[in-house]
Structure 1
């Protein structure tokens, strides 16, 4: 019994110390999203816990929509898809205007609400700042290969996150200068285009449960796979 009390006391003290460290860290950086107990706000700078909180939206469509509304993101709700494993009931499609200014091509993107929320934060905090700093021009369109796709992961029996619209494949970016930066053509090298692509990949790793790039395998040689699987909320995350 004494050993149990010692263990419980030690864990309690460690938790208090950790909470104090997190509070101090968040106060110094001025980023409330560093703290696990603060409400998610898509308009705030990315913090240590932003990615976990975004993954937690997978089972709460009303909350996800409320966060998009608060952030000024314009969207329409998609009709639910019911097709066995390939089903979803939290789909949204970006519409023009609002706080998001970057369209997706082809067509404006339809995907799950948690992916849409993460994409919005990614655009504001990662993509546009990196494009202006490294390429001298803002992004005017993000090209993609789609979100919902009733299929399994390549050469496996495991269903892809695309089967529930919880993933998107990003192919490239078009700039206001007229330049196109594509994963397939610009990933390798030391130039500003490659640096930009690697930076937006690294930024996505902070927001999505899974981020896969050409460094993962040949199947991803021409796109970034970004998904917001539920498992990401509980600690399993991949960044390659």
Structure 2
């Protein structure tokens, strides 16, 4: 009987402790670290940001599109639906011209909403990293596109690539306001000078922050096929390499 009483008291202490922790987190912990608080896409990446993006991806598309509409500085419009070869295309996607002062080369991207949501948040972190390591804001993202109606690795059969649904983005480099260009191909392994090492550190920071918001991030460390770009996607897999 005494054992049961002690167990019961301990259980109540644990319950009250959990309630206290939840109240503390709700009142004092920033929203990006708390899973049940709403996602603020203009806030820094937090412990719960990636999970919230995934939850939004599985919600009705209106939830994600509503989040994009709340962005402080996103130049976009809805893209017309597209269907190709039965599997490829999208029902709802966005065509993006710029994120704040950051443009693209080529000059637009078309992406499904969860991919763009993660990209918007990520580019804010990349901009901060550019200023920290290279002394200049981010001006332009160099990329190889989001949409391509093909299977994984270009195979004739097998699983479809997330590119087939405009749910993946290949990043080849970055251009800064001061004219610096950072190339994934040229700068990922380059340690030949102090400036080269700064670019190398910047690229690794960009990958690290990408892994916090995208479900799949593949870099030159993954394989030779990715020696010249970051592959970012919001598909069902999980990988950060």
TM-score (norm 2): 0.83
**1:13–1:237: structure 2 CA closer, same or farther, 3 Å change rule?**
farther
Q: 1:153 and 2:152 equivalent?
A: yes
Find the aligned partners of 2:94 and 2:146 in 1 and give their Cα distance. 11
After superposition, what is the alpha-carbon deviation per residue over 1:14-41, rounded to whole angstroms, capped at 9, x for unaligned? 898667657656766x421211111222
Q: Specify the SS of the correspondent of 1:82.
A: strand
Aligned to 2:205: 199
After superposition, what is the alpha-carbon deviation per residue over 1:91-110, rounded to whole angstroms, capped at 9, x for unaligned? 101135xx622011111211
Deviates more, 1:101-110 or 1:11-20: 11-20
Q: 1:107 and 2:113 equivalent?
A: no
Residue among 84, 87, 103 paired with 1:85? 87
Q: CA deviation at 1:174?
A: 0.7
Aligned to 2:174: 173
Task: Judge conservation of contact 1:147–1:168 (CA < 8 Å) in 2.
Answer: yes
Task: Judge conservation of contact 2:78–2:95 (CA < 8 Å) in 1.
Answer: yes
RMSD: 2.6
Find the aligned partners of 2:38 and 2:95 in 1 and give their Cα distance. 24
Find the aligned partners of 2:186 and 2:215 in 1 and give their Cα distance. 26
Find the aligned partners of 1:16 and 1:87 in 2 and give their Cα distance. 50
Q: CA deviation at 1:56?
A: 2.6
Aligned to 2:5: none
Q: CA deviation at 1:149?
A: 0.8
Aligned to 2:137: 138
Aligned to 1:185: 186
Alignment of structure 1 residues 11-30 onto 2, 5 Å: 21=21, 24=24, 30=29
- The total of aligned residue pairs comes to 222
**1:21–1:139: structure 2 CA closer, same or farther, 3 Å change rule?**
same
Q: CA deviation at 1:55?
A: 2.1
Find the aligned partners of 1:31 and 1:76 in 2 and give their Cα distance. 30
TM-score (norm 1): 0.83
Find the aligned partners of 1:102 and 1:204 in 2 and give their Cα distance. 17
Q: CA deviation at 1:88?
A: 1.0
Task: Judge conservation of contact 1:31–1:44 (CA < 8 Å) in 2.
Answer: no
Deviates more, 1:41-50 or 1:196-205: 41-50
Q: Specify the SS of the correspondent of 1:71.
A: coil
Structure with more relative contact order (C-alpha pairs < 8 Å, separation 6 or more): 1
Task: Judge conservation of contact 2:97–2:107 (CA < 8 Å) in 1.
Answer: no
